[in-house]
Every structure is written in C-alpha cells, then in structure tokens.
Amino acid sequence: MTEKKEKVPPKVKIRFVYNHCNDLLAMRRFYTDILGMTELGFNEEWNWLGYESEGFQLMFFGAENKLPVPTEFTDQPGYQGGDREGISWSIGVPEEQFAATVKKLKEAGVTCFDDRPQWYQDSYWGFPVLDPMGVTVEVFCFPKEKPNSTEWSDM
C-alpha cells in the first residue's frame, strides 16, 4: 500500500510591479518629495525609478510614447467614489506624519478626491489622490486609537 503525499503549493510572492509613465521626474517628485517614499534607485539614463517596501518593489519606467492620463478616480473598495475601473493602490503613512503629508499633497496642487481626509470603514483615515499618471493612490493611516470625532481636524 502506498501512502498518498499531499502536494504543498509553492510559496510565491509578488516582488515587482512595473509601470510606464510620461514624466519620470514628476513621478519622483510625487512619490519621493511629497509622499516621502525611499527610493530604491533612480537613473535618468536608464529611464527608471524604483521604490522598495517590505520586499515589494514598485518601479516606473519612462514611456517612449505618451500614454493617456486619466482624470477620474478609480473605484476602490475603501471609499465611496470613483467610477473608473483600473489599477489603484494604497500607501500607508505613519499617523504622526499623515496630516503633514496631506498638507504637502494639497500645497503641491495634487488632484484630491476630497478636500480633507475621510474616516473609512470605521478604522482608518484615507485621502485618495491622483498621481501624475492618473493612478488613484489612497494615502492612509491607521490611528492608534479611534478618534472621538470622525470629522477630520488637522490632528
């Protein structure tokens, strides 16, 4: 009698997401200067920019031909809004940096879904914006404690 061995699925991880963009410097300003992400690398000659977060790499490459840039927000499960179907992502910001990040986004003239952060799913502050390629990016933070009021005030 032979014993049946159970197959164990391989442990796979998404490690890289590659994106093309029209303006690498605009992407760098948005993700590095405004959001404060740490660059994995930037090389104008190779036309790429990358960020690493907990083993995951988000990379941007300059497009040879100009790509269309959506102006509508993507439908995303966290907030009530956005009608366009497409790619979007969320970027977590430490609670103590969240208000300053929102201020920087607004001062930089970034297209924002609302004029101030909203309390979503009874668990976090979210502030959806469009990056320079029209990707919906939900900038968010999980507060250490639920706020007394779910109306945003500059913490």
**pLDDT of 31-54, one tens digit each?**
999 999 999 999 989 999 999 998
As a whole number, the mean pLDDT across the chain is: 92
* β partners of residue 70: none
Q: Where would I find the beta strands (DSSP E) of 22-99?
A: 39-43, 48-53, 56-62, 88-92
Under the banding of pLDDT at 50, 70 and 90, the label for residue 11 is confident
pLDDT digits (tens, 9 = 90+) for 55-72: 899 999 999 999 999 999
pLDDT digits (tens, 9 = 90+) for 18-33: 999 999 999 999 999 9
Structural domains present in the chain: 13-62 (3.10.180.10), 70-155 (3.10.180.10)
Q: Whole-model pTM above 0.85?
A: yes
- Residue labelled with tokens 């100009």: 66
| Mean pLDDT (whole number) for 126-136 | 97
The letter for the amino acid at 51 is Y
If you write DSSP's letter for every residue of 90-152 in order, what string do you get? EEE--HHHHHHHHHHHHHTT--BSSSS-EEETTTEEEEEEE-TT--EEEEEE--SS--S-SS-
Tell me which H or E stretch contains 20: strand 16-21
pLDDT digits (tens, 9 = 90+) for 82-125: 889 999 999 999 999 999 999 999 999 999 999 999 999 999 99
